């Protein structure tokens, strides 16, 4: 297990800061730190709140926990903390807060406590069923194949990617958004954040929460697209005992548990219509009605919704309630895609580069070649800031020298660019003499036209490797598009 120390700037006083139990999918260990050196952190003090942050299949969801209580963790949807992973038993373990006592409930694959030792090593101990074990800050828990780490939430919030994104405010529209956030954050007016996938909607929502009077309370992040169709109302609004088959006990909904804090409704455009009607009541009355209840319960939350969909178009089609749209759109923030704010590409790249080098313990930051600078500015970044960040992360891992080059950012894989269809045998025998019409579909993601490819080949005397490098693509990608345009493939003269 890799030991990851907190940076000196992160060693801040912990008074009033909540803690978080972070769970993540073991198939994606890179999504979350496996271990954080919290040996110097104090134990939980009385009254400190606890959050549960799930990271499964690359999606994270924060769930605030009550100040005290016994929470059953397992695969059964009726457990307090349901984790849909086959390695967990239906009722796997129980966690008591705020004492932080873990108990195995006779699980098949076991519950384990992994403690960090002073020398940096770890010792893992299996929890005997029926014998509760007290855990402390820095301990790592494992339920079957799912790992949980007890860490201060400020460690998770101080994510380098978010810091790099927030610190770059060059584009005039982003400056306007930042100024608007500063004005509306202290109020409780609902905020609707619109933008393509990966532009930083979640980062902006977190900034709104941290700039509000609710910053000391939990921020609950709900992915509306990931809520199960059968249990969406029960999960959001809770249910009473006997409300439906299997409801053996009353259970508060996620919104109810976030009282006093902020609720981020991510992918709100994917929320079912029947759930939209109940959500509208929460916004209008400040109350939630549990499934099977006759009396509504008051809640005090601030809503921040986000989506990549065109909600106005969804309203026109009847897929989204008009009245809910107007309630959520108290203030609308539209984040432009990265390709429309190219002045921020290089500053973001340098910020992500610095963070990635620190994360992977590189002694120095590699420089950016001139070709790479041009490549970064010309690439359309269809995945926006998230794509840029992941690309920088991969480039740092692939670079073994002192300079980052275009080849380290080869984005011509099948996820971003499907190989163009190979010409048919008949087309090879009878090549068309007329140039292929230039359409958006005939371009690759870098926007290379027939004329640019021809110019590059002529500039490098037919050397495809050099031409590809000058265009910022892989040689195989260039060859594919040469065939797509039915261009002759001149051979560069052999060097003597």
In the chain, domain spans:
18-154, 189-336
Q: How confident is the model at residue 145 (pLDDT cuts 50, 70, 90)?
A: confident
| Least confident piece of the model among 236-245, 386-395, 468-477 | 468-477
Q: What is the pLDDT of residues 267-304, one digit of tens each?
A: 999 888 888 988 898 899 888 888 888 888 888 999 99
Structure tokens at 389: 């960040």
The DSSP-derived string for 58-69 is TEEEEEE--SSE
Question: What's the rounded mean pLDDT across residues 150-177?
Answer: 63
Q: Can you identify the CATH homologous superfamily of domain 189-336?
A: P-loop containing nucleotide triphosphate hydrolases (3.40.50.300)
pLDDT value for 137: 52
Closest CA to 300 of 241, 233, 218: 218
Mean pLDDT value across residues 232-251: 80
3-state secondary structure of 74: strand
Q: Are 218 and 64 in contact (CB under 8 A)?
A: yes
pTM of the model: 0.55
Domain 18-154 belongs in CATH node 2.60.200.20: yes
Q: Tell me which of 32-36, 148-152, 153-157 is least confident.
A: 32-36
Residue 47, CA distances (Å) to 68, 98, 99 in order? 9, 8, 11
Stretch 192-211: mean pLDDT: 92
The answer to whether 53 touches 60, Cβ cutoff 8 Å, is yes
CA-angle at 280, arms to 274 and 282, nearest 5°: 115
364-396 residue pLDDT tens: 889 999 889 989 998 889 889 988 998 898 888
Place of tokens 């209008």: 284
Nearest to 452 by CA among 460, 408, 340: 460
As a whole number of angstroms, the distance between CA 68 and CA 96 comes to 7
Instruction: Return the ∠ at Cα 407 (arms to 405 and 409), rounded to 5°.
Output: 85
Q: Determine which of 145-154, 164-173, 256-265, 477-486 has the lowest per-residue pLDDT on average.
A: 145-154
Strands (DSSP E) found in 108-187:
111-116, 122-126, 133-134, 140-143, 146-152
């Amino acid at each position: 297990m890799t030991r990851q120390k907190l940076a000196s700037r992160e060693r801040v006083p912990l008074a009033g800061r909540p803690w978080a139990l972070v769970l993540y999918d073991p198939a994606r260990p890179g999504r979350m730190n496996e271990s954080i050196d919290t040996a110097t952190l104090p134990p939980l003090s009385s009254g400190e709140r606890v959050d549960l942050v799930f990271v499964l299949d690359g999606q994270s969801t924060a769930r605030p926990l009550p100040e005290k209580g016994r929470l059953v963790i397992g695969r059964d949807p009726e457990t307090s903390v349901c984790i849909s992973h086959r390695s967990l038993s239906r009722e796997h373990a129980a966690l008591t807060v705020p004492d932080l006592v873990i108990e195995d409930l006779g699980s098949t694959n076991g519950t384990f406590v992994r403690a960090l030792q002073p020398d940096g090593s770890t010792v893992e101990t299996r929890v005997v069923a029926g014998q509760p074990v007290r855990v402390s800050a820095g301990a790592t828990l494992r339920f079957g194949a799912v790992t949980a780490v007890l860490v201060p939430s400020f460690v998770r919030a101080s994510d380098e990617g978010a810091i790099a994104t927030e610190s770059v405010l060059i584009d005039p529209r982003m400056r306007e958004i930042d100024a608007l956030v500063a004005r509306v954050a202290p109020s409780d007016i609902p905020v609707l954040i619109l933008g393509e996938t990966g532009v930083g909607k979640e980062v902006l929502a977190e900034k709104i929460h941290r700039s509000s009077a609710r910053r000391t309370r939990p921020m609950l992040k709900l992915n509306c697209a990931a809520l199960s169709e059968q249990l969406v109302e029960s999960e959001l609004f809770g249910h009473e005992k006997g409300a439906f088959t299997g409801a053996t006990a009353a259970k508060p909904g996620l919104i109810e548990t976030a009282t006093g804090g902020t609720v981020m409704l991510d992918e709100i455009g994917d929320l079912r219509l029947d759930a939209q009607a109940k959500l509208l009541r929460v916004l209008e009355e400040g109350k939630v009605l549990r499934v099977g209840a006759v009396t509504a319960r008051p809640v005090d939350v601030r809503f921040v919704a986000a989506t990549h969909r065109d909600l106005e178009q969804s309203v026109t089609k009847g897929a989204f309630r008009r009245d809910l749209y107007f309630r959520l759109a108290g203030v609308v923030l539209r984040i432009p895609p990265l390709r429309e704010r190219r002045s921020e590409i290089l500053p973001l790249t340098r910020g992500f580069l610095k963070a990635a080098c620190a994360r992977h313990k590189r002694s120095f930051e590699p420089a950016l070649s001139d070709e790479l600078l041009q490549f970064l500015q010309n690439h359309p970044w269809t995945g926006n800031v998230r794509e840029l960040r992941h690309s920088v992360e991969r480039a740092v891992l692939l670079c073994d020298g002192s300079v980052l080059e275009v080849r380290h950012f080869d984005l011509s894989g099948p996820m971003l660019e499907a190989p163009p269809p190979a010409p048919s045998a008949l087309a090879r025998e009878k090549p068309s003499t007329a140039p292929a019409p230039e359409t958006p579909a005939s371009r690759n993601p870098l926007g290379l036209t027939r004329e640019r490819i021809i110019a590059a080949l002529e500039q490098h005397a037919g050397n495809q490797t050099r031409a590809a490098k000058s265009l910022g693509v892989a040689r195989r990608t260039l060859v594919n598009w040469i065939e797509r345009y039915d261009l002759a493939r001149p051979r560069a003269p052999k060097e003597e």
